[in-house]
Amino acid sequence: MKILSPLRIANEVAPLLAAGADEFYCGLVPPGWKKKFGDAWSNRRHPDAAGVPNEEALAEILAAVGSTPVHVALNSLHYPPGAVEMLAGFGTHLLQDVGVSALIVADTDLLLALLEAGHSGKLHLSSLATATNAASCGFFRDMGVARVILPRHLTLAEIERCMIEGLDYEAFLINDGCVFEEGLCATTHAAGTFCLADGDGLKCMPARVLDQYGFWKWIQNNCGCTTSRGFPLGPCGLCAIPKLQAAGVRYLKVVGREASLERKSASVKLAAVARDIGQNGGDAQSIKEAIIALRGGATLCSESRACYYPDLWPDQRRGAV
Amino acid sequence: MGWGSDALRDVYPDALLTALYFGSEFCQELLPGSSDTETFCAHCAARSLEAVLLTPIVTHKGLGRIDRLLGSLTDRGWFPAVVFNDWGVLELIRKSYPCLPLRMGRLMNRGLRDPRIAMRAIGPGGENTARGAGIRKLATSLGVCAVESDADLEPGYLGSGDDGLERALHVPFTFVASGRNCLEKAAFASTSGGAFTRGLKSGCTAPCRGVYRREIRPDTDKQLWRAGNTLFFTAPQEWISRHLALADRLVFHQQPMP
């Protein structure tokens, strides 16, 4: 199984490779985008905080990675008039001239434009496109998509049932949860993260439910902290690696393009440790023990509170949040 | 709730009722059973109304439910139009139930509906009906007969009508966000827990049916509503008015429904 790491600049390449990254993904805003489209985002993450600064910086990254694949996300859910045409041209340039391995796309019009430009086989379907069943995955495979990035809120059993021949699958592994289904959230982070205040002003809902909701949202937001050893807390699917592998998932996503290098490296390191245990025959429990020993934060694991794939574990107590 | 049926009558005093919508666009747990669906279809047939079944994004479980539902209906001679919001549902119908009219649902329009943001000003050339041209062309090539949306921030997704798709606008509620971690489900869970972290695998008895709650946020003055797993707002009349010129059909919701 391959570990995908986020990155922003070439200086991050060596430490992330050393930590265990097998592939990279990043965001990049086309030249002239801001002048033409203002504050609209060309991909899902903040262009300044999470993106590669410019095309020269991307060239430096590509020079540093050697043969390691680098994918570029052009995965906003929606674009202003004229943006699809610009991004289709930019995507073609990235694939044909710059040497990017693949593009990560969510918007159907952009996907169609890139397919029409002849990039079948070099397109990854973003989780934002919400392919949640085998028939949907088959639809996109037949269009020319090479890899489906599965949405966050699928169980392991549901992931198993998404598998079809002729398609690669990538699954979320660690960091940065979403309160809503990301592809069905019609708000923009450019105006602030909408979901963080969701439910706070809800009328006539039992207080205990809102308390649990608040706690769960806090976990999705990475608990607002790291462990004392510098490892991330928050959504985590490391223990599910053996199951994901058995299901047919070949790529594991470490989330957090805008994170510091330290956080990225720590996340990739955790992922690599878990992946290696899993590939050497270790089970979920042995991964869990190794990760807790390395990272700390045992409490978070004790009741599956932070699990991306909580159906991995049997219910351990009634009332677990 | 603001823009209600009276206001609709003011705009369209002579509007004819032509279709009845049922089902769910937001939650596979809310898909009706075959008996209920048959009752809807019979009700529509008796009144010469088109029966339209709404379907959501689904997992294999939901897809199986839709397959069984449509199999049962077509076996018994009922052929409702189906609104799909999942390409897998489209594929199922094209392959197994090609006689059913297909309508592309509002979740296929991933345009912004952020209640904190003002609607974009109309462009010099009018509404941008080029937006969504690709997906509409794809839909047409796949035999889809209609495109649907609610009032988003940039009118134009429904197109100019030149692509041959009927255009339907859902009013007055626009969805903001939806997902599988459902507050209503959590409130009615037998144990308090698990509804958020472990709730994905647990079943649901659909306690949200008929329930909607007001939600207040300091960062928007729009009327927000929580219904089941989905957050809606009442679209301002100006928003709806901007979309009306692009719609051939209005789908009126009496209350926010997932």
What is the residue type of A216? Answer: W
In a domain? residue B204: no
Q: Do A186 and B114 make contact, defined as CB atoms within 8 angstroms?
A: yes
Mean pLDDT estimate for chain A: 93
Return the residue of A nearest to B142 by Cα.
Answer: A139
pLDDT above 50 (res A321): no
Q: What is the pLDDT of residues A34-57, one digit of tens each?
A: 999 988 888 888 877 779 999 999
- Give the containing element (helix H, strand E) for A121: none
In a domain, B206, yes or no: no
Question: Could B177 and A113 be called an inter-chain contact, meaning their C-beta atoms sit closer than 8 Å?
Answer: no
Summary mean pLDDT of chain B: 92
B252 has a chain A CB within 8 A of its CB: no
**Total Cβ atoms within 10 A of residue A168:** 16
Is B197 among the domain residues? no
Separation in Å, CA A289 to CA A172, A263, A296, B183: 20, 21, 10, 32
Q: Check which CATH number belongs to the domain holding B50 and give it.
A: 3.20.20
B213 Cβ partners below 8 Å, 6+ apart?
A202, A203, A204, A205, B225, B226, B227
Show the domain range for B97.
Answer: 5-170+236-252
Q: Is residue A319 pLDDT above 60, yes or no? A: no
Residue A27 three-state SS: strand
Alpha helices (H) along chain A: 13-19, 33-37, 47-50, 55-65, 83-93, 108-116, 134-143, 156-160, 207-220, 241-247, 261-279, 284-295, 298-302
- Whether residues A202 and B215 touch (CB distance < 8 A) is answered with yes
Round to whole Å and give the CA distance between A110 and A85. Answer: 8
Lowest mean pLDDT among A14-18, A106-110, A148-152, A230-234: A230-234
What is the number of domains present in chain B? 1
Of A228 and A260, which is predicted with more confidence? A260
Interface test with B, best of A178, A180, A200, A311 (most B CBs within 10 A): A180
Q: What share of chain A is helix, strand, coil (3-state, %, to 5)?
A: 45, 15, 40
Any domain includes B133? yes
- pTM for this structure? 0.95
Residue partners of B140: CB distance under 8 A and separation at least 6: B163, B164, B165
Asked if residue B15 belongs to a domain, the reply is yes
In a domain, B156, yes or no: yes
Which chain A positions have a beta carbon within 8 Å of B133's beta carbon? 109
Please report whether residue B190 resides in a domain: no
Ramachandran area for residue B228 (φ above 0: left; ψ -120 to 50: alpha; else beta) = left
Mean pLDDT of A28-39: 92
What are the pLDDT digits (tens) for A192-218?
A: 999 999 998 887 888 888 988 999 999
Q: Rounded to an integer, what distance in angstroms lies between the CA atom of residue B67 and that of residue B162?
A: 32
Scanning B51-110 for CB atoms below 8 A from A yields 57-63, 86-92, 107-108, 110
Residue in this structure with the two tokens 């999705």, named with its chain if needed: A220
pLDDT tens-digit series, residues A172-193: 999 989 999 999 999 998 899 9
In a domain, B70, yes or no: yes
Nearest Cα residue to B241 out of B58, B62, B119, B63: B119
